[in-house]
Amino acid sequence: MTKEIILNHITKIEGHAKLELGIDQGKVTKCELSSVEGSRYFEGMVKGRRFFEAHEMTSRICGICSCAHVIAAISAVEDAVHYTPTKQTKELRLLLTYGERIRSHATHLYFLALPDYLGYESALAMASKFKKELQVALSLIKLGNSIIKGVGGRDLHPVSATPGGWLKFPKQEDLSSFANLLREAKVAAKKTCDLFLSLDYPKFESNTECFALHQKGEYATLGGVFTGDSGSFTKDRYREFINEYHEDRSTANFVVKKDHRYMVGALPRINHSAEYLSHDAKSLLKSSPLRKSSKNPFLNNIAQAIELMHCIDESMRICLNLKIVDEKPQELVLRKGTGVGCIEVPRGTLWHEYTLTDEGIISGANIITPTAQNLLNMQEDIRDYVPSLLSLPKEKITLQVEKLIRSYDPCFSCSAHFLEVNWS
C-alpha cells in the first residue's frame, strides 16, 4: 500500500514548515522536512554596520526570542574585542534570559503543546474546560513579560543591554517586586510540572546525540563548553565541528556535527547539567521519567516544565542578591577580530559570530539557531517514528508527527530558515 502525506502548513509551531512523507509497503520512502519561510538575510544585513548595531538588528529575527538574539549578538561582539563584562552585567543578562525562558516555555507548553495531549484543536477550544490551567499559563507569561520589561526596558526587543554593559538599570525596588512575584510563581511552576508529568507520552528514543553548553558549577546559560555524549568543544572551534548545508527545498539551513545529527534544547540541557538545577527543580526531576541521557524528544515538554522552576529559582536568587550599582557601559577598545557568542536560549543553543574591522565595522556574520540545529534531527526522528504508526489512519499519523515536531518547540521564523506535510 502506498501512502503520501503532504503537510503544507504545520500548525502550532513558530513560523512555517512543510513535511513530505512517502510510505510504500510499510516503509518510509521519502521524508523531507523543510522550512518554507521567506529568506531572512540578517547575516547580510548586518555587514557594513557598526558593532553596536548587531544586537539591535538581529533582535528582529524573532519577537518570541528577541532577548536571546540580543544577548548572543552582544556576547559575540564582546568576544571579538576580548572584553569581559562585569558581574552585574552578567547577572542582568542572565535575568533577562531567564525572564524570556519563563515566558517562552509557558506559552509553548500551554498554548502549543498541551492541546495535543488533551485532544483539542487549540488552547482556545479548551479554554472553558481548562480555565485554571490557562490561568496558570497566563500568570507565568505575565511574569516573564514583567521581568523582560523591567530589566530590558521593553517586553519585546529589549533596549537596555549593550556591548560593554547596561544602558538603563532596573530599580532596586523593581528587583524586590520581581522577587515577590517569583516566589508566588513557584506554585504555578509546580502545577505546570505536575500537569505535564500526568500526560501520556509516546515511547520513542531518538537515535541522536544531545548537545548543550556545560559549565562546572552552574546550569550553563550564557557560557560554557558545547558538550555532547561523545565529547565537547569550545565555542571558538565551532566551525571545526558544526557544518551548515543548504537543501534547495528549504530556506532553513541544515546543521550537522561532523555529518551526524544532534539535538539541542531543554532535554539536552537537563541531560548534561541536571546536577546544577535548583533544589526544587531537582526534586521535580526526581519525580519525572527523565533519566540521564533521555533521548525521547516528547519528554522535552517535561524538561521545559522543570526548567520553569529552575528559571524562577535562579531569577529569585538574582533579584534578592543583586545590589544595583550605577555602572556606565564600558567603551570597547576596538580591534580587528572574530568573536563567537554561544548561549542557551529557550529552544536550545544559539550561535552568533561576527568579524569586526579595527574600526568596529561588521565584515562577516554567521547565526545558527536552535531550530536549524534540530531540523535534521526532527526529520530523521519522523522517519524512524512513522513506521510504528502505520496501522493508524492518516489523520492520526499526521497528529502524531505534528506532536513530535512540536515537542522540539521549533521556531522556523528564526531558522528560516518550518511545517506543512505532503504525504506521498
Where along the sequence are the contacts to other proteins (CB under 8 A)? Answer: 9, 11-15, 63-64, 107-108, 111-112, 121-124, 127-128, 131, 134-135, 138, 141-142, 145, 154-156, 413
Least distance in angstroms from the C-beta of 142 to other proteins: 5
Q: Quick check: 13 and 421 in contact, CB under 8 A?
A: no
Least distance in angstroms from the C-beta of 258 to other proteins: 32
Q: Quick check: 264 and 246 in contact, CB under 8 A?
A: no
Least distance in angstroms from the C-beta of 418 to other proteins: 9
Least distance in angstroms from the C-beta of 409 to other proteins: 10
- Residue 350 has φ and ψ, to the nearest 5°, of -115, 130
H/E stretch holding 213 reads strand 212-214
β-bridge mates for residue 28, sequence order: 23
3-state secondary structure of 87: helix
Among candidate residues 160, 83, 38, 80, the one with its CA nearest the CA of residue 330: 83
CA distance 63 to 78: 23
Least distance in angstroms from the C-beta of 259 to other proteins: 31
From the centroid of its chain, how far is CA 406? Answer: 12
Sequential DSSP letters for 246-260: --TT-SSPEEEETTB
Least distance in angstroms from the C-beta of 128 to other proteins: 5
10 versus 92: smaller Cβ distance to other proteins:
10
91 versus 420: smaller Cβ distance to other proteins:
420
6 versus 156: smaller Cβ distance to other proteins:
156
285 versus 419: smaller Cβ distance to other proteins:
419
Q: Quick check: 37 and 412 in contact, CB under 8 A?
A: yes
CA distance 339 to 362: 11
15 versus 297: smaller Cβ distance to other proteins:
15
Sequential DSSP letters for 323-366: ----PPPPPP---SEEEEEEEEETTEEEEEEEEE-TTSBEEEEE
73 versus 419: smaller Cβ distance to other proteins:
419
Q: State how beta strands 362-368 and 348-356 pair.
A: antiparallel
213 versus 266: smaller Cβ distance to other proteins:
266
3-state secondary structure of 390: coil
Least distance in angstroms from the C-beta of 357 to other proteins: 29
10 versus 80: smaller Cβ distance to other proteins:
10
Least distance in angstroms from the C-beta of 345 to other proteins: 15
Least distance in angstroms from the C-beta of 138 to other proteins: 6
Among candidate residues 257, 236, 270, the one with its CA nearest the CA of residue 348: 270
CA distance 356 to 64: 28
101 versus 261: smaller Cβ distance to other proteins:
101
Least distance in angstroms from the C-beta of 337 to other proteins: 33
Q: Quick check: 367 and 351 in contact, CB under 8 A?
A: yes
| CB-based contacts of 413, cutoff 8 Å, min separation 6 | 14, 15, 16, 37, 61, 62, 64
